A and B are shown apart, each in its own frame.
Chain A
Amino acid sequence: AQKVTQAQTEISVVEKEDVTLDCVYETRDTTYYLFWYKQPPSGELVFLIRRNSFDEQNEISGRYSWNFQKSTSSFNFTITASQVVDSAVYFCALNLNRDDKIIFGKGTRLHILP
């Protein structure tokens, strides 16, 4: 069965601190895609990154970085020098190449305190 686990339900950090959101996934498929989405209070899911199962390169985009490790089935997300605008719920998600649906984790609510 496919599953995405975000063990951290809620995290609070002070502005400018670094924070890492953990994501562990389960699948026996060899071809799959991993995503991170941000959900601000307005409700829409904002796409942050997509990574396919054959690309284990870490990625950095501004203050955001992602660490994909197939050996531990993890796809962690780090925000460097956090800002209040980063406050949101963050979802890690899995999509199998043979399927259309996205399997979401339960999300991590991130509070950045001024």
Chain B
Amino acid sequence: KAGVTQTPRYLIKTRGQQVTLSCSPISGHRSVSWYQQTPGQGLQFLFEYFSETQRNKGNFPGRFSGRQFSNSRSEMNVSTLELGDSALYLCASRRADRDVFGYTFGSGTRLTVV
């Protein structure tokens, strides 16, 4: 079966712009989480969506937002980009909440802010 698909794979943006990243979960998975990976901070939780509702949010500024659609696809948006937002953004999906067996990660979107 198809895995978690993240688009685009690579992105270069200018400081001050905004960006939208997309994540298509595994078919049947209703929960989508987002993580930011940087060399300095490592992997950090951004937020999780389940059935179109944000269930949990990490310690990130309000410039980071997300949403989930009725087909479980999710997007995350970063407004007013800063150089420090350059990172690999990983999405993970699972069948349902509290399903600790089911985290499957995508290959990520590598965002570079110049």
A residues with CB within 8 A of B? 33, 35, 37, 42-47, 50, 52, 91, 95, 97, 99-107
The stretch that binds A, out of B11-19, B65-73, B75-83, B96-104, is: B96-104
- B100 and A33 contact, CB distance less than 8 A: yes
- A101 and B58 contact, CB distance less than 8 A: yes
Given contacts A91-B43, A100-B56, contact A47 B103 (CB under 8 A): yes
- A44 and B108 contact, CB distance less than 8 A: yes
Q: How far is the CB of A86 from chain B (nearest CB, A)?
A: 19
Interface centre among B56, B105, B110 (most CB of A within 10 A): B105
Q: How far is the CB of A93 from chain B (nearest CB, A)?
A: 8
Q: How far is the CA of A24 from the CA of B97 in the complex (A)?
A: 26
Interface centre among A52, A97, A104 (most CB of B within 10 A): A104
Q: How far is the CA of A2 from the CA of B56 in the complex (A)?
A: 16
- A47 and B56 contact, CB distance less than 8 A: no
